[in-house]
Every structure is written in C-alpha cells, then in structure tokens.
C-alpha cells in the first residue's frame, strides 16, 4: 500500500499547482496517466483571463463572464474567482512563467478574445499552457515532498462502502501501473480529482487522448452528484487537416482581427451576431455549424492575411510553424477550420473550497462544477479557475484536522482472467464517439438524444460484463469511464427543455425566463 497525506489524480495546471502549494507542508502523490506534460492544460494556447490593466476592472470581467454564461453562472462563484485573478497570475510569475511582455517591455502584453470587453488575457505567445506546464513541471520534479507516478491510471476511489469503516469518506484510490500491469492501493486522507474533461467522448475534439472523463465517472460511482453535463463547449476553430489531429487555432486570432470566411471568401459572422467574430464561442460554433450544413461544406476559413507577416509570426509562432509544416502559410492563405469538442462546463459538484459531498474528496479544474462557467465558458477563464480552486483546496486541506491513514484492502483479481478479444473495446470506443458526435453534438433533438441513450445502455451492458470477467487494462478503464460520462451528458441534455448557451435543441428553441442548473443526484447518497 502506498500511503500519502494527499493523493492528487491528474497532472494538468490544477493538479500541479495544488501539489506545489501543498508540498512544503504535506507528503503528496501525483498520479498521471502518461507523462506530467500530457494534459489539456498543456494544449491551451490563448492564455489566462484576469483584470490586470488600469482600463479594465473586476466588475467588467464579472459582467463578461455572466453574459457568456447565458444566465447560469453563479454570481458568488464568479466574483470569488475573478477577484482572485491577479493573485493567481502573480503566483505564476513568482514560479517563473515567462509571460509575453508588451512593446515597452515594462509590462505584460494582454490580448482580447471572444466575449471579452477588454484586453485582459495574459499569455506566453500562442503556447501559454505549454509554457506554464513546463515551468511548474521543473519545480514539481525537483520537490522532495512530491512523489510522481507517471503512466499510472486510477481505476476507482476507495470509499467506506468498499471496506466498512464507520465514516463515509474517501480513503484513496486503486491505481493501475501501466508498465507493470499491477494494481496499486493508494491510501490518503485527502484525495483530489484533477483529471480534466471528457472530450474524447466525441469523434472530433481539441483535447488530448487522456481526456476520458475519469474523475467525473469515478466520483459518480462513489456517490457524488454532477451538474450541467449537457453544456459541452465546441471550440469554433480547430484546424481542419487530415494530419492535424486535435490542433487548436486559438481564439486570440479572432481577438487580433481574424475574419471567418466561406470558401468563396464571403464573410458570414456579421449575419449571425452583431459582435461578429468576437461573439462568445457557443454563437460562433453554431454559426459555423449552420453554414457548413446549409452549404455542404467540410470546413470554413479563418483569414489573417490582412495582418502584417511580422505581426503573425511574432504573436502566433507555433500556429505559423505548425501550419507551414502542413503546407499552409497563414501570412498568405486562410486557415481551414471546423468546430470540435473542447470543454465541459459541468462536472462534479463542489463548493468554494473545491470539496465534493464525499468527505476527504476534492475536485479541481475541468472535472469540477463550480458554477463559474454557467451555460458557456468565457474564453481563458478555465486556467484561471484551475489556479483559484487549487489554492482554495490547498488552504482547506492544510487547515483541516489530520485524519489517520486507513489500512485498505488490496485489489482482488482472484476471479478474473486475461481478455480473450480486446477488439471489442476498440469497436465500442469508435461506436460511442461516432454516435455522440452525430446525436449529442452542437445542435440536438429529442429523438437524437433518445437514440444515443439507447445505444449507451447497450454499451454499458457489454462493458460491465467485460469489466466483471477480465483483468483491467488502460483501454478498458477509459472506455468504462467514457460510456458513463456520455450517459451523464445525455441524461442532463434530456432534462433541459430549452435552448441555452451551449445546449441548442431544435425541439425546444426558446430560452426559458428562469435559469436552472441540471443536477443529477447519485442514488448512492
């Protein structure tokens, strides 16, 4: 049994920043499915939103967040996060993150993205997430109080129901070491889920392959509630190219003057919204989807050719380089783009200290539902949320009474065998992602949701039988979590009888006057 003060599952910005804040005072285990750098945070291009400029204000940032959230943002949570924005940025600067300087060199360059009324997105060129992750990873690997377990995937949380102590809390997790194929038992009085979102439930996504909804699924099986899973943000501009899997074209390009055009060069966004290309993501994604379906297009184009070449290369060096590798010179050619699943605005219900309803269990980052994002996330608020709630979780853990470590039962493989045909897993994975894209995508109908739910039930039965009889593998664990997460998405979507934010229904096109969250309470609690 591996014993620690805190077990953190996930190595994105939320998990890494939390580990670094806890490490001076606690013995921390950080479990990650691949390497420390493999996370959705690492893919983030745009930056982190915070009111840093004198012309901007906390009130303006709050207002922009509430507008983008289409009436469902929690005002209390929004203020809590936005007011802590500068502190979060200062912490990253203190860690050594090399944010891009302005022309004078005396301050930091701030860009503007869709839905923002001011320039308030601090960034490191067009690879903010990568730069932040690199900086924190170096510090994390060197810290003596942090034990890193790479190539380990969590299977399930260990709760009282599994071994019968008098309390009802979370006591750790069972984790598969993918290199040895052995299941390890991790004991910790505090467990934190920082596992990211479920983007791989869809056929087209900007997310890395690790985004399989693990934390959400594990928390639900342990008895936690989830909320607003129907609100899946489709990023409007993912590079459309057969060799460019999941490559995102940052929102900052539209903030710096990018124009969306049809193949014949016609601009179309002003017909959909007066803010045109600077409208929030849900509006831009639906507009692109509508134009593609109406005209039978494979993609639309993001045009930056009217901007000086030096400007594009300086501000978007990674996008420029990657597109050149694929034969696209963004200084002379428009970029082919399509919407792709990008971010889940719902997740495990938590409070302002990142606590779930299960004592000892916390959730931070995209896997959590804090109330910040409402029905649509404002661009670049995600990394800010990671930082703020990691700090909140750290504060709560450090001030809480130290619970004794529990002696936990070992993983039991006595009644299972090796799988005979693993092709079943790959076929089910492919089927799930295709029907979720077709039936539970940008625009939905009641019939499509019913069809998706029916297919999910069939897959659940197959996977449960497989899980019961065979030894666990990485692919089986991820598929099991994806199917459960897909079910939660569909169930929430079926309950929302309106169109709001990221949930667009042809059968319920009207937005109701009263805005309510979609809460699924687990039958175990």
Catalytic residues: 281
In Å, what is the CA distance from 521 to each residue of 227, 250, 363, 467? 9, 36, 17, 25
**Apex 350 CA angle, 347 and 353, nearest 5:** 140
Interatomic CA distance for residues 365 and 357, integer angstroms: 17
Tokens of 279: 């409208």
Q: Nearest 5°: phi and psi at 259?
A: -120, 130
Report which secondary-structure segment, H or E, holds 193: strand 190-193
Interatomic CA distance for residues 14 and 192, integer angstroms: 10
Report which secondary-structure segment, H or E, holds 241: none
Burial class (CB in 10 A: 0-12, 13-18, 19+), 36: buried
Interatomic CA distance for residues 367 and 211, integer angstroms: 10
Q: What does DSSP assign to residue 367?
A: G
Q: Residue 491: how many CB atoms within 10 A of its CB?
A: 17
In 351-509, the DSSP E strands lie at 361-363, 368-369, 443-444, 504-505
Tokens of 81: 């996060």
Report which secondary-structure segment, H or E, holds 3: strand 2-3
Tokens of 394: 């750290």
**Ranges of H-type helices in 193-257:** 214-221, 252-255
Crossing angle (nearest 10°) for helices 474-495 and 423-439: 20
Tokens of 9: 């599952």
The number of C-alpha atoms within 13 Å of 383 and in the hemisphere containing its C-beta is 30
CA torsion sign, 63 to 378 to 255 to 336? negative
The long-range contacts involving 440-444, CB below 8 angstroms and separated by at least 24 positions, are: 440/232, 440/486, 440/489, 440/490, 440/493, 441/202, 441/234, 442/234, 442/285, 442/286, 442/289, 442/339, 442/504, 443/286, 443/289, 443/504, 443/505, 443/506, 444/493, 444/503, 444/504, 444/505, 444/506
CB 223 within 8 A of CB 522: yes
Burial per residue of 211-237, b for 16 or more beta-carbon CB atoms within 10 angstroms, e otherwise = bbbbbbbbbbbbbbbbbbbbbbbbbbb
């Amino acid at each position: 049994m591996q014993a620690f003060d805190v077990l953190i599952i996930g190595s994105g910005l939320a998990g890494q920043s939390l580990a670094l804040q806890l490490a001076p005072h606690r013995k921390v285990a950080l479990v990650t499915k691949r390497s420390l750098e493999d996370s959705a945070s690492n893919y983030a291009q745009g930056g982190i939103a915070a009111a840093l400029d004198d012309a901007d204000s906390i009130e303006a940032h709050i207002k922009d967040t509430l507008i983008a959230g289409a009436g469902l943002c929690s005002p209390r949570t929004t203020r809590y996060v936005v007011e802590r924005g500068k502190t979060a940025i200062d912490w990253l600067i203190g860690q050594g993150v090399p944010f891009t300087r302005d022309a004078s060199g005396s301050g930091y360059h701030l860009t503007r993205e869709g839905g923002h009324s001011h320039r308030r997105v601090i960034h490191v060129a067009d690879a903010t997430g990568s730069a932040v992750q690199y900086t924190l990873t170096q510090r994390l690997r060197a810290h003596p109080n942090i034990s890193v377990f790479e190539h380990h995937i969590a299977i399930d949380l260990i709760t009282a129901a599994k071994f019968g102590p008098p309390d009802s809390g979370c006591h750790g997790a069972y984790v598969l070491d993918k290199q040895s194929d052995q299941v390890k038992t991790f004991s910790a009085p505090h467990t934190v889920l920082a596992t990211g979102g479920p983007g791989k439930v869809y056929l087209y996504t900007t997310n890395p392959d690790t985004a399989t909804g693990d934390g959400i699924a594990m928390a639900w099986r342990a008895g936690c509630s989830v909320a607003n899973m129907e609100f899946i943000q489709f990023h409007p501009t993912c590079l459309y190219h057969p060799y460019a899997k999941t490559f995102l074209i940052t929102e900052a390009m539209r903030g710096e003057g990018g124009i969306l055009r049809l193949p014949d060069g016609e601009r179309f966004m002003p017909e959909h919204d007066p803010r045109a290309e600077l409208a929030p993501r849900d509006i831009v994604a639906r507009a692109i989807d509508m134009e593609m379906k109406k005209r039978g297009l494979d993609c639309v184009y993001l045009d930056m050719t009217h901007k000086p070449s030096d400007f594009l290369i300086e501000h978007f060096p990674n996008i420029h380089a990657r597109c050149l590798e694929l034969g696209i010179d963004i200084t002379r050619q428009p970029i082919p783009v399509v919407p792709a699943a990008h971010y889940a605005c719902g997740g495990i219900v938590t409070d302002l200290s990142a606590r779930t309803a299960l004592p000892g269990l916390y959730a931070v980052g995209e896997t959590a539902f804090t109330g910040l994002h409402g029905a649509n996330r404002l661009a670049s608020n995600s990394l800010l949320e990671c930082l703020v709630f990691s700090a909140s979780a750290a504060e709560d853990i450090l001030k809480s009474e130290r619970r004794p470590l529990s002696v936990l039962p070992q993983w039991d493989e006595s009644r299972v065998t090796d799988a005979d045909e693993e092709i079943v897993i790959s076929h089910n994975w492919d089927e799930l992602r295709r029907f979720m894209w077709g039936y539970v995508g940008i625009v939905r109908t009641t019939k499509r949701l019913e069809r998706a739910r029916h297919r999910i039930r069939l897959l659940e039965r197959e996977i449960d039988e497989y899980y019961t009889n065979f030894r666990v593998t990485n692919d089986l664990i991820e598929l099991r979590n994806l199917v459960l997460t897909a079910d939660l998405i569909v169930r929430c979507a079926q309950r929302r009888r309106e169109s709001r934010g990221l949930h667009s229904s042809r059968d319920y096109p009207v937005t109701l006057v009263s805005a309510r969250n979609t809460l699924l309470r687990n039958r175990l609690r």
